[in-house]
Amino acid sequence: MASNSYIQIATVPLSCENSCQALGKLRNRSNRVPPSPFIKRFETQNYRGLKNLAVDDISLVNLIGGLNGSGKTSFLEGIFTSLDVFNPLCVLRVLQWRGLPFSIKIFKDIVLSNQKSISFRLLDHQSHEYNTKIERLEVAPFGRSMIKGKDSVNIPQSNVSVESVRISFSSAGQDRLIRDFLESGNGININDIKNEHVELPLTFLLSRYTLNVQQDIAERYSSVVKSGRKSTLLEILRRLDLQVVDLEILQLNGTPVLHAQFHGAGFVPLSFAGDGVLSIMSASIAIIQAKDGILLLDEFDAAIHYSKLPILWEIVIELAMEVNCQIFSASHSKESIDAAVRAAQKMHANRYLRYFRFDNVEENRTQVTKYNFSELVVAVDEDWEVR
């Protein structure tokens, strides 16, 4: 969306329905097809702290817990990289999320570190296999790039030092993408040796730092409105505050900002309703956008008051089931985990919720403990610590 654009949305009259009626309206929209989440199993080798990790029996809504440094965020980044592989900036996104400049050298120093390569393996629910590998690319002084066991690739001869990596992707046992990233004093050059595009699910990654960026929310909200789902967002907001009449994007100093109109008042930025409300709205927009896709959430519940967590998880699980959006949510909050379990229990969505806890048990090994739903219910009832 251009920064000078103005979007006028028709006013929707204030509904008198209460929060239970609003939830019922979400639940009873149609005789929907049961959700079919994309990822069944995900493996990663040598990606940051995850030396040899495998997570199996993945469901629709997946909670990821563990101590700081246990690899929760790296796990989310690995999934995103696997499914964003055809994006020309794929290997550099991880630097962007961590506030670092785009640089192949920085990627090699920090992400690859002392590893020759990192790899990801994904199985979907039809047991189709997808493999992604990122490896160091050695560049000879005479201007020819070489990887042992692979064909060499010509690049422009230069006396300037060149930093380089190669990303490759295969599906159904066939190479689909081989792409080199070459960085010199002239910037980053991308060289495709092979590129046979494969349709992969639309995937979003939102963290506590990117969830509530105003311009991003406005752009994502606009796409949801164009898809005809504005009424769904209004229903969700009314569960949080029954005085919401309408939503509109208005300009503030040239920046598009999502505004809410409250009963008997004018429009104010939705952020004035609190960071928690804005976080719930941002996550809801992302789920609707990721229809038949994947949403990765990193500590998105951090700004939400514990009293609103049950409503949050009812909304998240319901929307995920409705639009077939597979969700991975990393969290430190026991209250949030408890609320997700109670929400799934209340909604009879037991089979759609999983919890995985990551633990560093050795220097080079992360242990993954999967909790089935009955174990989670006992843990919540007995107030056990499962984070």
Q: What percent of the chain has pLDDT over 90?
A: 58
- Over range 174-193, report the average pLDDT: 92
Beta strand segments in the chain, E? 39-47, 50-55, 61-66, 117-124, 129-136, 138-139, 144-146, 153-154, 163-171, 174-184, 187-195, 203-207, 244-252, 255-262, 267-269, 294-298, 326-330, 353-362, 365-371
- Over range 32-45, report the average pLDDT: 89
What 3-state DSSP class applies to 29? coil
Least confident of 19-28, 184-193, 240-249, 292-301: 19-28
**Does residue 211 carry a pLDDT above 80?**
yes
- The structure's pTM equals 0.85
- Over range 249-270, report the average pLDDT: 91
From edge to edge, which strands make up the β-sheet containing 144-146?
A: 138-139, 144-146, 153-154
| 85/162: higher pLDDT | 85
| The pLDDT of residue 32 | 61
| The pLDDT of residue 161 | 67
Distances (CA, A) of 62 to 133, 206, 219, 307: 25, 15, 27, 21
| The pLDDT of residue 224 | 95
Written as six digits, the tokens of 92 are 């550099």
Nearest Cα neighbor of 317 from 365, 352, 273, 368 is: 352
- Over range 227-256, report the average pLDDT: 90
Confidence of residue 48 (pLDDT cuts 50, 70, 90): confident
Q: What percent of the chain has pLDDT over 70?
A: 84
- Over range 27-32, report the average pLDDT: 50
- Over range 296-317, report the average pLDDT: 93
Least confident of 37-46, 246-255, 293-302, 356-365: 356-365
| The pLDDT of residue 6 | 24
19-34+202-381, superfamily in CATH? P-loop containing nucleotide triphosphate hydrolases (3.40.50.300)
| The pLDDT of residue 15 | 31
Question: Would you tell me how many other CB atoms lie within 10 Å of the CB of residue 253?
Answer: 6
Sign of the Cα pseudo-torsion (328, 330, 333, 334, in order): positive
- Over range 197-202, report the average pLDDT: 94
Rounded to the nearest angstrom, the gap between the alpha carbon of residue 288 and the centroid of all alpha carbons in its chain is 13
Nearest Cα neighbor of 224 from 302, 301, 285 is: 285
| The pLDDT of residue 341 | 95
Rounded to the nearest angstrom, the gap between the alpha carbon of residue 232 and the centroid of all alpha carbons in its chain is 21
| 156/343: higher pLDDT | 343
**Does residue 264 carry a pLDDT above 90?**
no
**Does residue 1 carry a pLDDT above 60?**
no
Least confident of 17-26, 172-181, 273-282: 17-26
| The pLDDT of residue 382 | 83
| The pLDDT of residue 320 | 97
Task: Domain ranges for the chain, please list them.
Answer: 19-34+202-381, 86-195
Per-residue pLDDT tens over the stretch 137-182: 876 443 444 444 444 444 444 555 689 999 999 999 999 999 999 9
- Over range 315-329, report the average pLDDT: 97
**Does residue 350 carry a pLDDT above 70?**
yes
Per-residue pLDDT tens over the stretch 104-132: 999 999 999 889 999 999 999 999 999 99
Nearest Cα neighbor of 318 from 20, 27, 62 is: 27
What's the rounded Cα separation, in Å, for the pair 300 and 212?
9
Q: What is the mean pLDDT of the chain?
A: 84
* Distinct helix (H) and strand (E) counts, the chain: 10, 19
What's the rounded Cα separation, in Å, for the pair 88 and 77?
16
